[in-house]
Each structure stands twice: as structure tokens, then as C-alpha cells.
Amino acid sequence: MSWEAHRLTSKSPAEVYTVLGPHGCDDLIRQAWAACWREHPEDTRTFKAVRQRFFETFTRNLNIWRRIKKPTPEAFFADFIPHDTVEGHLRQAMVLSWMMMPRAGGREFKDTIPIIQRLYDRNIAAWEEDNQTFTKGPGKKKRTTKITKATKKAHKAKKTKR
């Protein structure tokens, strides 16, 4: 564990939140995505290949995280592949999610898993949308109208006049 990560483990969730902000975990996931793209060999760098590599790294680390019985700094970095930037950012995002959860009110370690999964899913969706935009052009958005009570009444009144 880096000295900086160890230093932050002694801070309260509010202090960590103040230093890194509400976007801290999401930012680390994005950094992992960017590193995964940059580190992938250029001759095989495709959206599909990088997404697969990221999925494999994320899944591996999430499975390690699920096996943690007692949250300790040592457990957070067990089975960590040194010098893997993607894995480093992912693991730090996982640690940060635990560190930023308020300690009052029954904080449970297992609650970090759905948080990290949502961040991953949200970033996957955004990355896929961006890939679509910059390779095939922006897709046409479906036009939706909000149906309110007033709209329903107007539509009903229009039908009865016919």
C-alpha cells in the first residue's frame, strides 16, 4: 500500500470526502479505463478488446474484494498485481468507497460491492455511448413527451369533441 493510501486510512469518512470529493471513486474508475486504453497494444487496440480487458481486470478484483472477511489495509491490497496501473486505480476506487462510507448508522463492508458495481456499469454505458458517438456518429434520440394530467385531460377532451 502506498504511503498516501495508508495516510488516508487514518482519516474519517468526512475528511476523505472533503479531500477527494463525491466524485473520487468515479474518477478512479475513469482513470482505470483511460489507463486500460493507453496500455493496450496499438496493433490490437479496439473498443471491444479494451472493454474485455477492463471487464476481466474488474471481475478479478471484485472477486478478490468479495473474499475479504475483515476490512483491513492489508486485505485491501491482497493478491494485488504490482505495476498494473489499471488494477491500481480499480483497487483504490474500491478502498475509497469503503473509506468514504459514513461510519455511523451500521456501515457494512459488503455494501461497497454494489457501489463499485454501479460505478462500473455507469462508466461502461457512458464509454459505449461515447464510442458510438465518435465512430458512427450520434444516434437519433427518441422523442418522448411527458404525459401529465393536463395532457391526458386535453387529449380526452379532444376525443370527446370528435
* For the chain, domain boundaries: 3-161
Q: Is the pTM of this model over 0.85?
A: no
Instruction: Tell me the per-residue pLDDT of 73-82, one tens digit each, with 9 for 90 and over.
Output: 889 888 888 8
Instruction: Tell me the per-residue pLDDT of 22-65, one tens digit each, with 9 for 90 and over.
Output: 888 999 999 999 999 999 999 999 999 999 999 999 999 999 99
- Angle subtended at Cα 59 by Cα 55 and Cα 62, rounded to the nearest 5 degrees: 140
Instruction: Tell me the per-residue pLDDT of 112-146, one tens digit each, with 9 for 90 and over.
Output: 999 999 999 999 999 999 999 999 876 665 555 56
